[in-house]
């Protein structure tokens, strides 16, 4: 009766039935076990733990009891106790579930080497367990063993190509290893796969107004004659060029000299891209359905997981480091994105980015800009304190402005120009400067950002800058 009630979801009545069974036979192992499972299903973890322990007093060598006790303890956050239960279960009967969950608990506890050993033991039992390969890859990534993590993620995807989050993890690791082209390609594959899976599982949902308007304009102006027939996912070409994407006429020596002498670290480069590269990036940003992240005031963001990972941008990333080695040193590309805003949008507020070097460049044609002296970037000469967390230097504008006032910080404004880049110390506080652009889809202000390295790698000279 208890089992029948539990299967129907009547957990309270099921628990009562199991208690009656125990009243008739206090040493009934199935009754103790099923009562514990019922408590766990209802979220009554303390009661479940006590019921599992009661069962173990009757049968201390049943691995399934130790395994389920470990699961309940882990759900409560009692990791050390959970690890002991999983270890006992695996010692009694080495099984893939016990070893995999043991590895997960060990990793969560910070015992990464032991977690890796547990996952590898699980794979000796079943080398075709895709999710164990995923967990092993994550632990290897924690250890910085990125080449091995790559192999684990790739093996998981060979076993189950529909594991979209794994493709995203693989993409991130490849970029971290400086295999940027391969990583960008995986991000594009991830975006397509994630879109397909969302389309299958999605419940009807109204998109935010700004995105609805954007997608309607994009569909009608660029993709199809009838907006309702627009493809739900599309990535334009955005492929590598057969020649340089950065303008070869840019005076690299002069730029590097300006960077070396600048305090704070900031340089402006006009005519950044070749006409061919600029045109290709514009087409990609105009035609691709990558604008999925919504921000207040009419802003949309495009990120790697949305498919904003054209091979041309990977080429640009490589060329920046090759052309300006003193600026980028050997810093790896860490993050990148694009923002697009409606006419009249206020711009991105004051913040700093968790990186060493920031490349920000604009691609919307100049004739869309209604004020040639604004619409660009305002940058302060004081960096975010290294002790501040992400929220403080990204989501607390009042605190930031108070800090800058106390520091007597000064700012410099770089007006908007199409094909202009601002390269600066990413620790410096900055914000969009009063954009005023025309109405119309092709007139939306688009900026692209590439972040290199981590903010701790910035030299000490950036700590006390002055203009």
178 and 243 in one domain? no
Q: What is the pLDDT of residue 204?
A: 47
In a domain, 239, yes or no: yes
In this structure, the answer to whether residues 188 and 292 fall within a common structural domain is: no
Quick check: is 154 in a domain? yes
256-260: long-range contacts, CB 8 A cutoff, minimum separation 24 = 256/324, 256/326, 256/327, 259/324, 259/326, 259/327, 259/423, 260/326
Residue 46 domain-assigned? yes
Same domain, 293 and 229: yes
Tell me the sheet residues that pair with 290: none
Angle at 166 between CA 163 and CA 171, to 5 degrees: 130
pLDDT (0 to 100) of residue 228: 52
Spatial separation of the C-alpha atoms in residues 258 and 252, rounded to whole Å: 10
d(CA 241, CA 218): 25
Last residue of a domain, one of 198, 228, 256: 198
The answer to whether residues 313 and 286 belong to one domain is: yes
pLDDT tens profile 287-299: 999 999 888 777 8
Query: Which residues lie below 8 Å from residue 84, measured CB to CB, with a gap of 6+?
Result: 70
Q: Which residues contact 1 (CB under 8 A, 6 or more apart)?
A: 17
CB 349 within 8 A of CB 434: no
Read off the pLDDT of residues 320-347 as tens digits, 9 standing for 90 and up.
999 999 999 889 999 999 999 988 888 8
Q: Distance between CA 38 and CA 11 in Å, rounded? A: 6
Q: pLDDT above 90 covers what percent of the chain?
A: 71
If DSSP codes are grouped into helix, strand and coil, which group holds residue 10? coil
User: Is residue 204 a part of any domain in this protein?
Assistant: no
Q: Do 288 and 396 belong together in one domain?
A: yes
Q: Look at residue 203 and tell me if it is in a domain.
A: no
Tell me: do 145 and 283 sit in the same domain.
no
Radius of gyration of the chain (CA): 28
| Whether residues 13 and 147 fall in one domain | yes
Q: In DSSP terms, which residues pair with 362 in a beta bridge?
A: 447
Q: Does residue 115 contact residue 104 with C-beta atoms inside 8 Å?
A: yes
Looking at the 3D structure of the chain, how many domains does it have? Answer: 2
Rounded to whole angstroms, how far apart are CA atoms 301 and 290? 8
SS3 category, 35: helix
12 and 133 belong to one structural domain: yes
Q: What is the DSSP letter of 228?
A: G
In DSSP terms, which residues pair with 412 in a beta bridge?
A: 379
DSSP 374: S
- Examine residue 93 and say whether the peptide bond preceding it is cis (omega within 30 degrees of 0): no
CB atoms within 10 A of CB 41: 14
Task: Give the three-state DSSP class for 364.
Answer: coil
257 CB-near residues (< 8 Å, 6+ apart): none
List the domain range (segments joined by +) for residue 387: 209-462
End residue of a domain, out of 142, 166, 198: 198
If asked whether residues 256 and 389 sit together in one domain, one would say yes
Rounded Cα–Cα distance for residues 257 and 259 (Å): 5
Last residue of a domain, one of 177, 198, 219: 198
- Please give the pLDDT value at position 112: 98
380 sits in which H/E element: strand 377-383
- CATH at 55: 1.25.40.10
Residue pair 6/34 in contact (Cβ under 8 Å)? The answer is yes
**Is residue 125 located within the same domain as residue 19?**
yes
CATH number for position 412: 2.60.120.620
Copy the structure tokens of residue 298: 């009419």
* 217 occurs within a structural domain: yes
3 state SS of 360:
strand
DSSP for 411-465? EEEE---TT-EEEEETTEEEEE----B-SSGGGSEEEEEEEES-GGGS-GGGSS-
Q: Are residues 95 and 144 in the same domain?
A: yes
- The per-residue pLDDT for 29 is 85
165-171-173 Cα angle (round to 5): 105
Of the CA atoms within 13 Å of residue 225, those in its CB half-sphere come to 0
Nearest to 35 by CA among 18, 50, 56, 57: 18
Say if residue 177 is in the same domain as residue 251.
no
Does residue 467 belong to any structural domain of this protein? no
DSSP H stretches of helix in 202-290: 209-218, 252-261, 275-287
pLDDT under 70: residue ranges of the chain: 2, 5-6, 8, 14, 199-208, 220-231, 456-467
Contact 412, 466 (CB under 8 A): no
């Amino acid at each position: 009766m208890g089992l029948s009630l539990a299967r129907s979801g009547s957990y309270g009545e099921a628990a009562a039935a199991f208690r009656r069974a125990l009243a008739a036979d206090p040493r009934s192992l199935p009754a103790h076990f099923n009562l514990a499972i019922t408590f766990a299903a209802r979220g009554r973890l303390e009661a479940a733990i006590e019921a599992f322990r009661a069962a173990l007093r009757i049968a201390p060598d049943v691995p399934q009891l130790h395994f389920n006790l470990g699961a309940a303890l882990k759900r409560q956050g009692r990791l050390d106790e959970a690890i002991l239960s999983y270890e006992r279960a695996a010692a009694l009967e080495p099984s893939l579930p016990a070893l995999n969950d043991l590895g997960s608990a060990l990793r969560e506890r910070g015992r990464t080497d032991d977690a890796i050993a547990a996952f590898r033991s699980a794979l000796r039992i079943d080398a075709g367990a895709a999710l164990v390969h995923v967990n092993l890859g994550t632990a290897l990534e924690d250890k910085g063993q990125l080449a091995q993590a790559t192999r684990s993620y790739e093996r998981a995807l060979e076993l189950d190509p529909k594991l979209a989050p794994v493709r995203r993890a693989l993409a991130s690791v490849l970029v971290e290893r400086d295999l940027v082209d391969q990583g960008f390609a995986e991000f594009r594959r991830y975006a397509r796969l994630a879109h397909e899976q969302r389309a299958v599982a999605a419940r009807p949902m109204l998109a935010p107004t700004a995105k609805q308007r954007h997608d309607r304009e994009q569909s009608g102006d660029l993709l199809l004659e009838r907006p309702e027939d627009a493809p739900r996912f599309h990535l334009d070409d955005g492929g590598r060029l057969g020649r340089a994407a950065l303008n070869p006429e840019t005076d690299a020596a002069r730029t590097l000299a300006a960077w070396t002498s600048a305090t704070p670290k900031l340089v402006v480069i006009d005519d950044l891209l070749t006409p061919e590269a600029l045109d290709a990036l514009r087409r990609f940003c105009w035609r691709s359905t990558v604008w999925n992240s919504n921000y207040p005031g009419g802003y949309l963001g495009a990120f790697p997981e949305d498919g904003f990972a054209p091979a041309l941008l990977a080429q640009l990333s490589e060329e920046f480091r090759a052309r300006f080695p003193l600026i980028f040193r050997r810093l790896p590309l860490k993050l990148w994105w694009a923002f697009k805003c409606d006419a009249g949008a206020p711009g991105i507020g004051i913040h700093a980015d968790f990186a060493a070097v920031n490349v920000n460049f604009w691609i919307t044609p100049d004739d869309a800009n209604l004020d040639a002296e604004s619409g660009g970037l305002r940058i302060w000469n004081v960096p975010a304190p290294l002790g501040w967390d992400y929220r403080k230097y990204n989501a607390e504008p009042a605190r930031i402005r108070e800090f800058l006032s106390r520091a007597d910080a000064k700012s410099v404004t770089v007006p908007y120009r199409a094909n202009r880049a601002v390269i600066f110390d990413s620790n410096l506080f900055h914000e969009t400067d009063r954009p005023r652009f025309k109405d119309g889809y092709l007139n939306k202000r688009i900026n692209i950002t590439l972040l290199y390295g981590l903010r701790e790698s910035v030299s000490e000279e950036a700590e006390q800058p002055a203009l």
